[in-house]
Structure 1
């Protein structure tokens, strides 16, 4: 009978790491302290047969799709242990680059059901649309549950499956990125067919029915397929018009924690010369920083720069394209 082996650490991808007679292996679905039996080993990767004795940080995943869905790799691990692992990775990265005097990192864990940005794949399977995330190196897993996604976005998935099924421009499948802006969900869709007037009509009606002011086609540059209302978002009271597929921090409370950390560590003196902000995006931090000093906000993405420039009038934000 095979002997159980002990998982001793987590690898960079969140897989448990153990030492076998053949060498080090990484085992998805395990946490440090687990005693496990392996089904098979291929190089440095192994498949879990069963857990003999669970480690102290193992918990029951809150989502029944956690073993299949490729979105969450550590739902079987206690939140304090996840925070400690991520903190250690940041400290190790700083140490490798030569930092020695590293302050104690502050941590923040986003509440469940707080994610407002998601990138999903969809496929036609047996005369229906499967919409969700890819399992590891595998097919799309239909997202029938999610304890991470904002309920407003999750509620959109069922009608989204229906409208994608009805689109003539959807042959085998595609993908869709959704941002939850202050104006409502903002969709950026990649299709494997060419949308015609009928596709646009269907999407416009879908947008009106579900409070989606803009649906865009992933292209260079993105093309508007349906526009049924104003598109906007706010950063520190400043109204911006994000481009399709704009980068947002994944959760509002996570964004607020980052903002508070940045502002809390501004120097008390020496701001008269202004602040240089790199990767300013659409203004996530720019307008908050501008309350303290002039901000030279640098951004390399032309669409994000145009958004920031349009919104910066009358503020101390000075956008620059670099």
Structure 2
């Protein structure tokens, strides 16, 4: 047996001791022992627990891979996620006011992707086990909304109807006011009998929309999501903020950055998470590479009342970023790129000298890289706000507030 003292948490939530030695589900300050396998401590035993160690609130935590941090106090997790952001900025030689993390409540994830597999006795649906392909049933999951959790038996029925013996279905379940929005991948090819079976399940369970691979099986009613005063029907399986609380929180901080700007560009706009709420006070030009998402945003704007003009543009911002002459007409820019960040677009923003930029990110490392580009071009990073929509995970999002140095804060 090897005994070590945990010094810190890694970015995936594992405890790290000198060496480095990685010990899963341990906390800073704990003395732990186990069997050393390379750099990994296995069969971990907690000899001296941290005062921040808590009893996991979910009965599935030990086996389920959906959460990583339920053994730690909320305060420790909140501070750890704030530190992830601070440390990423420090590596880029940037300092700012990194605010305390805002965390979404339990039972609030409105979307989950379950795995479902046929068995000899029927089917099983749930999340994959920790570092495993085994499916763990999670009937008491405290992460997702009650409506999403109640869809687990339906996921099993979908597996019985359309899963092969060899592979599990991937079933994305989204909570909407009109009912469940379900998108399935990894199943059998559609044929007549399968279409009939799926249509029957759609009607029996009052599913708002059911999509199999890329084909819509049925839509009883469009599964709209509220976005500000508008209602948007996202394309099946399209990106959606994980919680309604997180969406509102991010939107509120983006509003704070944009302020009274009259004309705003929203880059990587998705289905209008920020564009539509901002249109309550500003004209907005929304740019996104996915044509269907742009169509959903436009339909949401046209169906709402009281909004200022919103224009849309389908454009690959990785290959064709907006250039300074296109950006010069805007008073503020909102940018919310994927995890890889937006190096090319940031370079053009730095050249354009747009007065104010609200940068939303799901990756502190690429955010710090892109923030460095802006700061070297004369921007000031006034503050960063971490937001934790993915409670008990290693994931953290943030909003950063940038302004040109000569503009008063």
Q: Please give the TM-score of this superposition, normalised by the length of structure 2.
A: 0.71
Q: Name the counterpart of 1:288.
A: 277
- 1:143 offset after TM fit, Å? 2.0
1:109-148 aligned at under 5 Å gives the runs: 109-138=103-132, 139-148=134-143
Q: Name the counterpart of 1:33.
A: 29
SS state at 2:147 partner? helix
Judging changes above 3 Å, is the alpha-carbon distance between structure 1 residues 192 and 204 closer, same or farther for their aligned structure 2 residues? closer
Please tell me whether the aligned partners of residues 179 and 207 of structure 2 are also in contact (alpha carbons under 8 angstroms): yes
Give me the CA root mean square deviation.
1.8
1:1-322 aligned at under 5 Å gives the runs: 2=1, 4-19=3-18, 23-38=19-34, 40-100=35-95, 102-138=96-132, 139-165=134-160, 167-168=161-162, 170-172=164-166, 173-218=168-213, 222-268=214-260, 271-272=261-262, 274-313=263-302, 315-322=308-315
SS state at 1:75 partner? coil
Q: Name the counterpart of 2:342.
A: none
SS state at 2:45 partner? strand
Judging changes above 3 Å, is the alpha-carbon distance between structure 1 residues 95 and 276 closer, same or farther for their aligned structure 2 residues? farther
Distance 1:120 1:126 in 2: 19
SS state at 1:133 partner? strand
Distance 1:80 1:49 in 2: 24
Distance 2:186 2:180 in 1: 19
Q: Please give the TM-score of this superposition, normalised by the length of structure 1.
A: 0.90
- 1:267 offset after TM fit, Å? 3.4
Judging changes above 3 Å, is the alpha-carbon distance between structure 1 residues 106 and 260 closer, same or farther for their aligned structure 2 residues? farther
- Residues 114-123 or 188-197, more deviating: 188-197
- Residues 43-52 or 59-68, more deviating: 43-52
- 1:106 offset after TM fit, Å? 4.0
Please tell me whether the aligned partners of residues 204 and 227 of structure 1 are also in contact (alpha carbons under 8 angstroms): no
Distance 1:168 1:185 in 2: 19
Distance 1:247 1:286 in 2: 15
Please tell me whether the aligned partners of residues 179 and 186 of structure 1 are also in contact (alpha carbons under 8 angstroms): yes
Higher relative contact order (CA 8 A, sep 6+): 2
Distance 2:205 2:158 in 1: 11
Q: Deviations over 1:11-56 (max 9, x none)?
A: 111111112xxx2111111111221111x22222221431111111
In the alignment of these two chains, the number of paired residues is 309
Please tell me whether the aligned partners of residues 281 and 308 of structure 2 are also in contact (alpha carbons under 8 angstroms): no
Distance 1:242 1:286 in 2: 14
- 1:279 offset after TM fit, Å? 1.4
Judging changes above 3 Å, is the alpha-carbon distance between structure 1 residues 285 and 200 closer, same or farther for their aligned structure 2 residues? same
Unmatched segments (≥5 aa) in structure 2: 316-409
Judging changes above 3 Å, is the alpha-carbon distance between structure 1 residues 308 and 98 closer, same or farther for their aligned structure 2 residues? farther
Distance 1:24 1:156 in 2: 42
Judging changes above 3 Å, is the alpha-carbon distance between structure 1 residues 168 and 15 closer, same or farther for their aligned structure 2 residues? closer
Distance 2:138 2:273 in 1: 29
- 1:180 offset after TM fit, Å? 1.2
SS state at 1:212 partner? coil
